Structure 1
Amino acid sequence: MLISNVWAAVLVMTVAFQAAAAETSPIVGNPLIEIPAGMFVFGRDEGLENERPRRVLKGLPFAINRTEITNRQYERFVQATGHRPAFYANHPLLGLDDRPVVGVSWGDAEAFCRHYGLVLPSEQQYERAARGTTGAAFPWGDGPPDETRANSGADPCCSGDARDGYPMTAPAESFVRGASDDGALNLVGNVWEWTRDPYGPYESEEAAESAAAFRVLRGGSWNSDRNHLTTTYRLAYDPEFRFSANGGFRCVRSVP
């Protein structure tokens, strides 16, 4: 009788754990990493004009996908909703199941996240996840990128190469040496990542004026030179454009 009760308790705990995991990870195979509230560095004064000013902000808690959304994960969304497929879904390299999905507009990415009860990250959430609390230049610290930490391109911008083992995108689970302190992968390199924010100067009304024109991509990609591979570089991009072979995304959830 005691053994039966023990097994019953184990079963209940297992079911409860699976339910909790399902709640915290709505995207199969891509867990959400919890980022606690606290002070963090946003922006930098040594970079380009649009990266300034450097500020220390108090961030709210949130959770972010461990990796970029993959082709396999995006295809499940397409099958469930009837949403249009990614532009490169059938590409022999870019369309591989374990590679980050590319060829998606800002609206496509936003629809995917919304389907799972999530949203695209803000620029502040991206930087907190990528830089930690101390404002590092890269997810792994302040040492420059190399072939073991990030999937990047040739030294002259902007073409791919295979020095890191991948001529184009790499599997989303690659480059574990480049992980952030919290355990997120490829926040720099592999593919540019959509954020939900409109592009504009950090401290200007121009941000509102440009909201309909551009959204911000972060992180650099497989064909980026190393000048584009910092945690603060901001790329303004047409949200309607869905033909980019180097642009993807991941999602976040706010934590009560």
Structure 2
Amino acid sequence: MFIFAFTAAAADDGPIAGNPLIEIPAGMFIFGRDDGPANERPRRELSGQAFAINRTEITNQQYGLFVKETGHRGAFYANHPILGLDDRPVVGVSWADADAFCRHYGLDLPSEQQYERAARGTTGSAFPWGELPPGNERANSGADICCSGDTRDGYAMTAPAISFADGASKEGVLNLVGNVWEWTRDVYAPYEAGAAARSAGLYRVLRGGSWNSDPSHLTTTYRLAYDPEFRFSANGGFRCVRSAP
């Protein structure tokens, strides 16, 4: 196994104001796990290409600028007194809305493999910061029993996108677990060939858990199959990536 040590990741301002792209280098990394839900199996070692990922989720302010520039429909919760605040992750967007935003800036939604590499590092950590459970300092999460929010971490719903610095990944990416679920570009299907899944091909995959997720959903490997057309979720957002040419 190749192990890479990171002290600081390179970044550039990127095309989205206030949301730099953090460079994730090429190399070997762990994908999937054998001791979790069946759709996370098998655990394997993959060779990944370099890419760059937004430091934070896309905010309401950033999404609002996109709407103004393009005439695209606004987020469903754009005027909510908490969920619609400028510095909070945009929620109430469908998969197509998120995809259109990224493409407008010459970027893409992350693949599941890109999300997992950014969130787990190279050694397959359960969380972006390592193996310790989230606690109230590392992630914005919900009650111990699914699925309601609480204020133990300081926020009843979404937190500002730059919150929870203690929960950053080794490269400095924030909130890859907690705050809001994040759209990936992948169509949902089991990893294992021949595994039965009625939902295979019908849904896109959300990753990372959110402000109302219980501990079982707050890992770097949890996969949520979700209707790509649904835009009324108060806990689902996204970020973008730039893949290597």
* TM-score (structure 1 length as normaliser): 0.89
Partner of 2:154: 165
Aligned to 1:210, which of 186, 189, 200?
200
Give yes or no for contact 2:207–2:223 (8 Å, CA) kept in 1.
yes
What corresponds to 2:180 in structure 1?
191
SS at match of 1:46: coil
Question: Which residue type is aligned with residue 117 of structure 2?
Answer: R
Aligned AA (2:221): T
1:247 equivalent among 232, 236, 241: 236
Aligned partner of 2:33 in structure 1 is 44
Instruction: Tell me which protein shows more helix as a share of its residues.
Output: 1
Output the amino acid matched with 2:192: E
Q: How many residues were matched structurally? A: 234
Displacement over 3 Å in runs of 4+: none
Matching residue of 1:64: 53
Per-residue CA deviation, residues 22-73 of structure 1 (Å, 9 max, x unaligned), is xx51000000000000000000000000000000000000000000000000
What CA distance in whole angstroms lies between the structure 2 residues aligned with 1:200 and 1:114?
A: 24
Q: Which SS does the other structure have where 2:30 is aligned?
A: strand
The letter for the 1-side match of 2:62 is: Q
> 1:209-247 CA distances to partner (integer Å, 9 max, x unpaired)?
833x10000000000001100000000000000000000
Paired AA for residue 96 in structure 1: L
Q: Give distance in 2, aligned partners of 1:242 and 1:43.
A: 28
Q: Which runs of 5+ in 2 are unaligned?
A: 1-10
**Paired residues for 1:1-256 under 5 Å:** 21=12, 25-204=14-193, 210-211=200-201, 213-256=202-245
Task: Using the TM superposition, give the Cα deviation of residue 203 of structure 1 relative to its aligned residue in structure 2, in angstroms.
Answer: 2.7
Counting aligned pairs with the same residue, the percent is 79
Is the CA contact 2:190–2:200 (under 8 Å) kept in the aligned structure 1? no
RMSD, matched Cα: 1.5
Structure 1, gaps ≥5 residues long = 1-19
Pick the structure with greater CA Rg: 1
Deviation at 1:255, TM superposition (A): 2.1
Q: 1:94-117, CA deviations, whole angstroms, 9 ceiling, x for partnerless residues?
A: 000000000000000000000000
Tell me how far 1:204 sits from its aligned partner. Answer: 2.5
Partner AA of 2:101 in structure 1? F
